[in-house]
Amino acid sequence: MSVSSNLIFYDTETTGLLKDFSQILQCGSIQTSRSLEILHEQNLGCAPLPWAIPHPMAMVTNKKTNLFHSNISHYELMRDLNRQWRQWTIDEPAVFITFNGMAYDEELVRRQFYWNLFESYLTNTNGNGRLDILLMMNNVAAFAPDVLNIPLFNGGPGVSLKQADIAEANGIEIGDAHDAIADCKLMISLLEKINAKKPELIDFFLSISTKPGVQAAVQKPGFLGLGEVFRREIFKYPVVPCGSKAPNDLMFFDLSFDPDEIFEMDTQEIYSLVQKPGKSGPFKKYGINKTIPICPSSMIDNKDIFDMDFAILEKRAEQVRANTEFQTLVSQAMADKIDNWNNEYDHIEQMIYAGGFPSKQDKELMADFHRIDSAEERIKICRNITDERHRLFAERLICQFYPQEAPEDMTGRYQELINQRLNEEGPWGSMDKVMAELEKLLDKDHPEETQNILEETKEFLTQRSASTD
């Protein structure tokens, strides 16, 4: 089992919760060794983009209103982040570690590298891997409750997997919550607690942070424990892989079901079960390119956890692994499912996964764009980019960097963008709705700090709105 000794923890603070349109205001990163010794830190902040609408509750949460007046641009933040992460991974690939990052932070970082003409998939290419501690905690809650205290939510019966709640339940000082660097240190502290009692569990999760790592782990003999927390309830499944769909989908079979009974079903019945996997059925689908909350059965100390003898589960696992005809049928059923993926988008921010990868020529042009600090040269490069998405992003950057030198057609589209985002309602939100919500919040009693943040946000948004009148 190969385990990386190069770990990079990171967290973001943003203008809102919209993956396609909210902007990163702060990104904190900490590089550690496998022993969780802190080696290096990076803390970056930037001003909101000219068309960004910071959401008042996001600002109350992250308290980053000081960045409203930052002289650091969003491009500079993403450039410096890209440089640092590449430097930290020159000698050895890293595992990039987040808390709920698969659903949020990772998606924002990918998108905002994309907005700024950088390679979007830095965290899972060139041998790098990704680990989401929140998903790891699903497995800990299910199968290793003695390793970490999993708190109840409001006294139970449900559990809470909020990072701050878990930290408090385990005697970890929370510090400055919702500061990116502080949240990175909180993640490190949580892993230190697990490392002290069950380091092999961390090693296993690090080993499955890449697609090859997952593929190797699930093919080993025996079965796996799959832990899920859904609507604050813990679910525990004994599973074994039983099919896949290129490039990333993996199907598990729940061994609490008798494989022989499933094998005897006709093709249509199996197709129906595979194409509608769920908590109550025999099939569980996961993305092989994301953290999967599994662990080997050998790491489960409580042998009574499934109300079924481990020997029976191991025998069933062997049956599924040996039935290649069944695996082929499951894989075919996965491949035949029609994915209702809508590639029709109106805005380039939404097109990161819809427009394919940039060509070799465009990649070279974008590298030149970052290398050459000249309005004339960057404009020329921009004109030659063939992918419309990247060309329009390059235009936006030129208009921010060189407002006087930018060509008239570029500035026209740029001003149209700003007017649209600040004055019209769309998938990015609405200035009118945000201001109305802000006024409602200001009418309520708040602690002084919250009141100040709301007033600072109002002042910023008022000025921003006035600039387009």
The CATH number linked to 172 is 3.30.420.10
Of the chain, the percentage scoring pLDDT greater than 70 comes to 97
For residue 161, the enclosing domain spans 7-199
Residue 342's pLDDT band (cuts 50, 70, 90): low
What pLDDT does residue 339 have? 57
For 196, the token pair is 């002290």
- If asked whether residues 229 and 304 sit together in one domain, one would say yes
- If asked whether residues 462 and 359 sit together in one domain, one would say no
- If asked whether residues 99 and 141 sit together in one domain, one would say yes
- Say if residue 242's pLDDT is above 60: yes
Residue type, 163: Q
- Say if residue 59's pLDDT is above 90: yes
- Which is more confident, 389 or 468? 389
For 11, the token pair is 């967290």
- If asked whether residues 78 and 169 sit together in one domain, one would say yes
Residue 215 lies in a domain: no
Do 48 and 62 contact (CB within 8 A), yes or no?
A: no
Q: Is 156 left (phi over 0), alpha (psi -120 to 50) or beta?
A: left
85: nearest Cα among 55, 109, 117, 51: 109
Residue 217 lies in a domain: no
Taking residues 350-373, what's their average pLDDT? 94
- If asked whether residues 317 and 455 sit together in one domain, one would say no
Residue 206 lies in a domain: no
- If asked whether residues 327 and 182 sit together in one domain, one would say no
- If asked whether residues 157 and 54 sit together in one domain, one would say yes
Do 457 and 442 contact (CB within 8 A), yes or no?
A: no
Query: Whole-prediction pTM value?
Result: 0.95
What pLDDT does residue 34 have? 97
Rounded Cα distance between 395 and 116, Å, is 10
Residue 218 lies in a domain: no
Lowest-confidence pick of 1-10, 96-105, 398-407 = 1-10
What pLDDT does residue 469 have? 64
Structural domain count of the chain: 4
- Say if residue 341's pLDDT is above 80: no
* Cα angle value 445/448/454 (rounded, 5°): 75
Neighbours of 158 (CB within 10 A): 13
Q: Give the bridge partners for 253, in sequence order.
A: 240, 283
- If asked whether residues 275 and 147 sit together in one domain, one would say no
Of 407, 423, 439, which closes a domain?
423
CATH number for 239: 3.30.1520.20
Lowest-confidence pick of 67-71, 121-125, 152-156, 456-460 = 152-156
- If asked whether residues 241 and 329 sit together in one domain, one would say yes
Q: Give the bridge partners for 224, in sequence order.
A: 239, 296
Rounded Cα distance between 341 and 335, Å, is 14
- Say if residue 194's pLDDT is above 70: yes
Rounded Cα distance between 405 and 73, Å, is 18
- If asked whether residues 326 and 241 sit together in one domain, one would say yes
Alpha helix ranges (H) inside 276-323: 310-322
What pLDDT does residue 468 have? 73
**Cis-peptide, bond into residue 247, ω within 30° of zero:** yes
Rounded Cα distance between 435 and 464, Å, is 12
What pLDDT does residue 336 have? 86
Residue 251 lies in a domain: yes
- If asked whether residues 31 and 47 sit together in one domain, one would say yes
Residue 205 lies in a domain: no
Do 122 and 128 contact (CB within 8 A), yes or no?
A: yes
- If asked whether residues 52 and 150 sit together in one domain, one would say yes
Determine the longest span between alpha carbons in the chain, in angstroms.
74
Residue 121 lies in a domain: yes
The residues, ordered by sequence, that sit 6+ positions from 411 with a Cβ below 8 Å of its Cβ are 399, 403
Residue 382 lies in a domain: yes
